[in-house]
Amino acid sequence: MAEFSLEEKIILVQYGIKKFENEEIVVEKLKNILSEKDIQRNIDTLIGTQRVRRIGPEILQNNESHTELTELPSNLKPLIDNL
């Protein structure tokens, strides 16, 4: 696994949520990039900072009405495209 900054990890998780919304699928797809612990920690951080909201037991959604989605850095774009 490559080393990512804290902000890069948050961005990866946020874009994973944008692409899939189902928490189980997000975790499964991102497991090849980040540890499951990192994924869960970043989901909790995103919910705590209101950048992501939980819609039901398994569905996550970016809270774009509250905060804008951070621009995807060019080094992370291929990773998100390949999810």
In angstroms, what is the C-alpha Rg of the chain? Answer: 12
pLDDT of residue 70: 87
pLDDT digits (tens, 9 = 90+) for 2-53: 789 999 999 999 999 999 999 999 999 999 999 999 999 999 999 999 999 9
CA neighbours closer than 13 Å in the CB half-sphere of residue 12: 28
Is the CB of residue 58 less than 8 Å from the CB of residue 51? no
Sequence-separated (6 or more) residues with CB below 8 Å from residue 36: 27
Kindly report the backbone phi and psi dihedral angles of residue 22, in degrees, each rounded to the nearest multiple of 5, phi listed first.
-75, 120
